Structure 1
């Protein structure tokens, strides 16, 4: 059976994939929409794209220190450049996660990365649009042979211990969604059936070198 192709959609403007923590925007990535249909939203993040990420005033990130220290510091959003290989991201309409298709420097598929997250909202301000999600920190790494492992369990537990500062309130729901995804992985069901693992972007698609005006709009709730 032929694999489904991404649905072509006319999105002639930047679409920002943003992570939200509480009421703060903590990560911004401008993406091209590859497909948007009843399965979900498919986004492309090129290498070299302008991005923004939250850091402490001394330049360290949230993973550079214990969470107990992070919550005591003043923070700011800084603009930088996406240095990793390009990523294809799929946000299913009926799931509380996104799936990132990791690639190597030769643009070959290397793994699926399941980012458990709470879908928050799509928004459209005219010149720029986006989707705001809450990252729930617990992840699943899936090899091409569909063997899998949990990732960041310690980080998840560390942050749950500070409920007054953490943006995840239902630990059981996060684990339950992870196990639901694992059932799809082990059964080889979409999108873990090989769909889009051979995707290649149009070589004429540029990487956005500046973030569009409105990238730092308030979180959409």
Structure 2
């Protein structure tokens, strides 16, 4: 399945068969370098919250899992972000972060299960991932650090509720990418750091079928 530049697809995170978040994205390219997506500021999004309406990060995970879940619509309020799903289905994606002036501020390695593509005839298309929470922040000079390690460990302590099954595999994937970061090869070589979306791209929305049952 190959997506078309400019096409709107639903970029979704799924957790234990539930939708964790949905972010409509524009396809920048889909080629030998991977699937490159653009999520624009003010894009309508959906996030899983507790049954009483609070985000997962507003409370201990042990409390969150006792309150049930619901889906809440919102808006991507941060600057626009590029996301690359690389070929060969590696267990991560690479994001390009920028500031409010649209200046590149660094990369973000999101450790996750490989993306699964889907398409519903006449309705939405998209990719499903499972975010495995441990991440890597990379500065423009390619110095790096782990992110969300405490959150990762907190959730691992509740395996009956958590979606990460192999802590060692997640860390191993992160360390594999660190070697690429330190070597300065693609995609950590300056490619797309000056990307700007075409001016004719309108803000995408949630398309019918955004809530189709997850593939995982």
TM-score when scaled to structure 1?
Answer: 0.93
3-state DSSP class of the match of 1:101? strand
Judge conservation of contact 1:26–1:53 (CA < 8 Å) in 2.
yes
Say which of 186, 189, 192 aligns to 1:190: 186
Gaps of 5+ in 1: 1-8
**Offset, 1:78:** 1.0
2:106 maps to 111
Q: Deviations over 1:13-70 (max 9, x none)?
A: 4211100100001100000100111221000001010100011132211101001001
Judge conservation of contact 2:10–2:206 (CA < 8 Å) in 1.
no
- Residues 32 and 102 (structure 1 numbering): CA distance in 2 closer, same or farther, change over 3 Å? same
**Offset, 1:143:** 0.4
Q: Deviations over 1:59-102 (max 9, x none)?
A: 21110100100111111111111100000100112321011100
User: How far apart in 1 are the matches of 2:149 and 2:7?
Assistant: 36
User: How far apart in 2 are the matches of 1:89 and 1:71?
Assistant: 29
CA-based RMSD of the aligned residues comes to 1.4
Judge conservation of contact 1:13–1:128 (CA < 8 Å) in 2.
no
Say which of 30, 54, 60 aligns to 2:54: 60
User: How far apart in 1 are the matches of 2:210 and 2:5?
Assistant: 17
The alignment of Structure 1 onto Structure 2 pairs a total of residues equal to 213
1:70 maps to 64
> Does 2:156 match 1:156?
no
1:124 maps to 119
User: How far apart in 2 are the matches of 1:43 and 1:17?
Assistant: 9
Judge conservation of contact 2:85–2:115 (CA < 8 Å) in 1.
no
TM-score when scaled to structure 2?
Answer: 0.95
